[in-house]
Chains A and B, each alone.
Chain A
Amino acid sequence: MDLEERLSLIRRNAEEVVTEGELRALLETNERPRAYWGFECSG
């Protein structure tokens, strides 16, 4: 998958990216970056 496709997947429906420039730089230099989402366990 090329850079622009990866970028547009991440941006899709996102309300904001802080920052777009940093995201692009990350994807340019790292094939397998690490992301996380934390969830509280609540019923």
Chain B
Amino acid sequence: MMHIGMGLVCGSKIKDFIKAGFEFIIFLADWHSWINNKFGGDMEKIRMCGEYFKHCFTAIGIPRDGVRYVWASDLVGDPGYWEKVVKVAKGASVNRILRALPIMGRDMGATNLESAALLYPCMQVADIFHMGVDVACAGIDQRKAHMLARDSAQKLGLKEPICVHTPLLMGLSGPEKRMEGRFDEDPSTDLRIGSKMSKSIPQGSIFVHDDPETISSKIRGAYCPPRVPDNNPVMEIVRLIIMPELGRFDLERPKQYGGPVSFYEYSELREAYSAGEIHPLDLKNSVSAALSKILEPVRSYFESNPDPLRRMMDVEVTR
């Protein structure tokens, strides 16, 4: 199901692009999902999930006629597409392709991959060329695939895509310490990829259609150390979602601890939190309230349009 990292961090960036006059393509990578064994590689379920994503983005405020939806299935019927895939593959070593693979959520050192995995980055690059995009957007975890696209473009004499990378929203359980160098050579990128909000950990994720009670209960259980604003998922929700969406953050606080206060710059909130002027519980309650407000249109969309979500939930249960 769609979590707020995808719905609100990616979603609000897509809105920015549309406002700035871009033609925006939301690419539903059904073939890539098949390669990556999503839904056990069941294409019917994969496509149903893509349809559900369209509903989520519409509910979030990206109108159907404001973007173009393209499926990977729409490209693969064209031999010219596969010509690009082969050209990209011929221009890059196996090692280089493997390094572009952590996008699939796999370790850098994995040796037991299905051979089809090698197709994934080559297709990702060919998608960019085949659709003629000027700007490729993604989370920072896809940086290596995009750098491969830029290098391949130079070799093949094609237009180099400009890349815009967004931060990754951290899961509610906070930074996950694990073996270093799993996803990236750079320790801070490695930590962030390993800690990002993931659908497979439901208590660590807030879904776009969660109701206010569910949101509060998840946020109440979130990792939120006092006085520590960095690598703190509750503070990250303010920085990456609430501030951009609402332009302000209203902190509710009992009178004896200073009463309610509004922040218009994240840096001011960060300073106050570091100084211990804000109790984690007050922060959490105010974050829950703001998120519930932002997600209200999504809830009411699916209330009057329950089928796509219900179908998705059925698939989740039988998985």
A residues whose Cβ falls under 8 Å from a Cβ of B: 1, 5-6, 9-10, 12-19, 22-23, 26-27, 30-43
Contact at A39–B53, with CB atoms within 8 Å?
Answer: yes
Question: A6 to B12, alpha carbons, bound, how many Å?
Answer: 15
Which of A6, A9, A17, A33 sits near B134, CB closer than 8 Å? A33
The 10 lowest CB-CB distance pairs between A and B, nearest first, are: A42-B38, A35-B135, A41-B49, A38-B27, A36-B25, A6-B20, A33-B134, A18-B163, A41-B50, A37-B137
Instruction: Please name 9 pairs of A and B residues whose Cβ atoms are closer than 8 Å in the assembled complex, sorted by A.
Output: A16-B165, A33-B135, A34-B132, A35-B24, A35-B136, A39-B27, A43-B39, A43-B199, A43-B312
Which of A6, A32, A35 sits near B137, CB closer than 8 Å? A35
> Nearest CB to that of A30 among chain B residues?
B134
Question: A37 to B160, alpha carbons, bound, how many Å?
Answer: 16
Question: Is B212 an interface residue, CB under 8 A from the partner?
Answer: no
Contact at A42–B49, with CB atoms within 8 Å?
Answer: yes
A9: chain B residues within 8 A (beta carbon)? 16-17, 19-20
Contact at B6–A32, with CB atoms within 8 Å?
Answer: no
B166: chain A residues within 8 A (beta carbon)? 13-15
Question: Is B118 an interface residue, CB under 8 A from the partner?
Answer: no
Q: Which of B121-147 contact A (CB under 8 A)?
A: 124, 127-128, 131-138, 140, 143, 146-147
Complex interface: stretch among B28-36, B80-88, B249-257: B28-36
Contact at A35–B134, with CB atoms within 8 Å?
Answer: yes
Known contacts A16-B165, A26-B135, A43-B39; 6 further A-B pairs (Cβ under 8 A): A12-B16, A40-B29, A40-B38, A42-B36, A43-B38, A43-B199
Looking at the assembled complex, report how far the CB atom of A20 sits from the nearest CB atom of chain B, in whole angstroms.
Answer: 9
Question: A16 to B142, alpha carbons, bound, how many Å?
Answer: 12
- Total interface residues on B, using CB and 8 Å? 62
Question: A37 with B26: in contact, given A9-B19, A14-B164, A18-B163 (CB under 8 Å)?
Answer: yes
Which of B33, B132, B147, B150 sits near A42, CB closer than 8 Å? B33
> Nearest CB to that of B189 among chain A residues?
A15
A31: chain B residues within 8 A (beta carbon)? 21
A6: chain B residues within 8 A (beta carbon)? 20-21
> Nearest CB to that of A35 among chain B residues?
B135
Question: A14 to B221, alpha carbons, bound, how many Å?
Answer: 28
Looking at the assembled complex, report how far the CB atom of B308 sits from the nearest CB atom of chain A, in whole angstroms.
Answer: 13
B36: chain A residues within 8 A (beta carbon)? 40, 42
Contact at A38–B29, with CB atoms within 8 Å?
Answer: yes
Contact at A37–B16, with CB atoms within 8 Å?
Answer: no
Question: Is B46 an interface residue, CB under 8 A from the partner?
Answer: yes
A42: chain B residues within 8 A (beta carbon)? 33, 36, 38-39, 46, 49, 199
Which of B1, B131, B163 sits near A43, CB closer than 8 Å? B1
Contact at B244–A13, with CB atoms within 8 Å?
Answer: yes
Contact at A10–B163, with CB atoms within 8 Å?
Answer: no
Question: A19 to B165, alpha carbons, bound, how many Å?
Answer: 11
Which of A10, A33, A36, A43 sits near B315, CB closer than 8 Å? A43
Question: A23 to B146, alpha carbons, bound, how many Å?
Answer: 15
Question: A42 to B237, alpha carbons, bound, how many Å?
Answer: 23
Question: Is B316 an interface residue, CB under 8 A from the partner?
Answer: yes
Contact at A17–B10, with CB atoms within 8 Å?
Answer: no
A19: chain B residues within 8 A (beta carbon)? 162
Question: A34 to B312, alpha carbons, bound, how many Å?
Answer: 30
Question: A32 to B316, alpha carbons, bound, how many Å?
Answer: 39
